[in-house]
Structure formats: structure tokens, C-alpha cells
Amino acid sequence: MDNKLPTKQLLEPFDMHGLTLANRVSMAPLTRARSGMHRIPNALMAEYYAQRASAGLIITEAASISPQANGWHQSPGIYTDEMVKGWKHVVDAIHARGSRIFLQLWHTGRASHSDFHAGQLPVAPSAIAIVGDGIRTPIGKKPFEIPRALETDEIPGIVEDYGKAAERAKAAGFDGVEIHSANGYLLDQFLQSKTNHRTDAYGGSVENRSRFLGEVVDAVTGVFPANRVAVRLSPNGVFNDMGSPDFREQFTHVARQLDPYGLAFLHVLDGLSFGFHKLGEPMTLRELRASFHGPLMGNVGYTQETAEAAIVSGDADLIAFGRPFISNPDLVDRFANNWPLAEPADMSVWYSFDKQGYADFPSYVTEEANHG
């Protein structure tokens, strides 16, 4: 008897502008803090990602584009030759297993602390601090600081950093890159009226607030073809104290702005289980389809069944799964065979800085063999 769930399209191959993905399941970027003090990807990270290579596409954890971009303890970077060499081992491990991998490009902006920057304040569009319970720095948890507002003439240098990071990602062999413009990090801070109070060409109107992202996309698509570049947005999110009253107008504009590029995909955190600002009805993938006509990736809180429904309905082309991949390295195999998912991992071990809670979760087959 066939015990598989009626999942068809989710597990079918997907042609992403000529790049064939084995299925429509993506591994979402998950910050895991295993890169050590020097932020260089290592063998443990290669093992972790290789365990999850049944995903049609893996989007790596965010990688800082420069020292100024850092804001998470022991997260990886992509701004030195040593980092490129480390990432190449990860890429090779994924390609050997037949999957594809994009590197996520990251600047944390105000979601950082002077402890990461030798006493210098983190930067942001405007001098507005995050309201929250603090940030974990290399020397312990600290209150959020009021960031330094970037000068207008500093912005081209950061755009250039994105371009250089893309060049290094290409040198490491990545299939493409995703520009992180979500979750209250620097590009998202420029987009949103809550955090962007500038009066220069990068603030004020929705067009001006979108200018920085557009310049970054231009720089990165000067390195990779546009169909190997993705952008991540979180129009409904509250992470890092985000959420703006004009979010619908802003993110509709951004979707329209990005549409002509022919991007690999637009990655939208449309689910609400990671927090919702409640400043209006949540934006949906179906709504964004009217403004962005390329591949759409949904994310946050999807199950196998709701992912399949989103694809069958045409709302999404790809679905990213994050936390389920932590304790289910063989998530796609579990979907395909109707095997139960492992219990969610305890968050206390997510950031242990070693193999525990990271690369020590068994596959279903191994788990059953051990029980047998």
C-alpha cells in the first residue's frame, strides 16, 4: 500500500531560470553560530549542510559582507580569502550531493553593538535604537545602543562591499546569492519608515527609502546574472523591533521595483508565526503576485500540507523550511515517505558552538535502525 501523502508538486523538480532544483523545498537561512571567532566556515559547517542536501535549494545562514556588517557572535563572513576557502568546502559538499546553494549576504546595521566593532557604534539609516531586551555580544548580553546614522557619502562604500561579497561568493562556487533585506537588518531598516527618518535621497518617500536596496541589487547583479540573485523581504515582521504603518505601500513598491530584474526568486517571510506587527492585514504571496511576476518563495510556519497547497494554488513556486530542518536533516525524505518529523530541538543547544544541537540529529532511517 502506498502510504505517501498526496504531495506532488512540492517534491517535483523546479526549473529556476535554467538552474534545475531537485524539488521545490528550500532550506531557509538559519543563523547557527558555528564559525568560530574568526568567522571562517569550517568542516563542521560543511557536514551540517551536507546532511540537509536533499533540499532542492539551500540558502546559507547570513554571511557578513564586511567587518562593519557583523552583529552576531561566531556567525560567518564573506570578506576575506580565508572565508572564501572555507565556504568552498561547504559548496563542494552540497554540489557532490546534487543540490544547489545560495549564499545570503548580510549587514546587520543597528542590530549590532559596539562590542563587535572595537568600541565604534553600529550604523543605521537613522539614530534610532532597537527597543528590546538586548543583544548577545562577544563579551555577554548588553542593552541595545543608539546607532550612528550613516552619512550620505558612506552609502556607496557599503554598496561596493555588497558587490565585493558577491565576487567572493562567486569565487567560492555558489550557485547564486540572496540579498538579506528582511528581519530588521540594514537594508530593511532603510526600507521602513519606522527606522528611516532621513531627509536625503535615501529617506522620505517610498522611492527614496528603496534606493539603497536598488543600488545593492545593481551591484550584485553586476557580478552574478540577475537570475542567480534573490532578495529576501519581511513585510509582516516585527523581529528587531520592526513594523511600519505604511508597510503595504512600501513593500508593494519594492516588489514592483524588483520585478524587471528577472531575479532568481523573491523570498518573502509571509507567515506570521515569527511575529506580526498588526498594522493592517498581513501581506500575502497572492497579493505580491500582482507586483512581482518571477518565482516567489514563501516562508515561516509552513507544513508539508500548507506548502503543497501554496504551490498548487500558484501562490508560491518554492517554500523555505527553517526550524524543521534543524532536527530533521532528512526533511525531504520524511516528506516523500510520510515519515514522522522528529521533535523540535531544544533552543538551548541551537548555539552551543559545537556539534551538539547542530550536526548530531539522526536521519529517520538511522533513528529506526538504532531503535531496532
* Catalytic residue IDs: 185
In the three-class reduction of DSSP (H, G, I as helix; E, B as strand; rest coil), residue 321 is classed as strand
In the three-class reduction of DSSP (H, G, I as helix; E, B as strand; rest coil), residue 208 is classed as helix
Sequence-distant (6+) residues with CB within 8 A of 16 are 57, 227, 264, 265, 295, 318
Amino acid identity at 100? R
In the three-class reduction of DSSP (H, G, I as helix; E, B as strand; rest coil), residue 190 is classed as helix
Residue 146 to residue 356: CA distance in whole angstroms: 35
Length of the chain measured in residues? 372
Give the E-state strand segments of the chain in sequence order.
Answer: 14-16, 19-21, 25-27, 57-64, 100-106, 123-124, 135-137, 140-142, 148-149, 176-180, 229-233, 265-268, 296-299, 318-321
Say if CB 271 and CB 302 are below 8 A apart. Answer: yes
Nearest to 128 by CA among 109, 142, 106, 147: 147
Find the farthest-apart pair of alpha carbons in the chain and give their distance in angstroms, rounded: 66
Q: Which residues pair with 19 in a beta bridge?
A: 16
Q: How many C-beta atoms surround the C-beta of residue 369 within 10 A?
A: 10
Q: Which grid cell is 255?
A: 516588489
Residue 107 to residue 240: CA distance in whole angstroms: 13
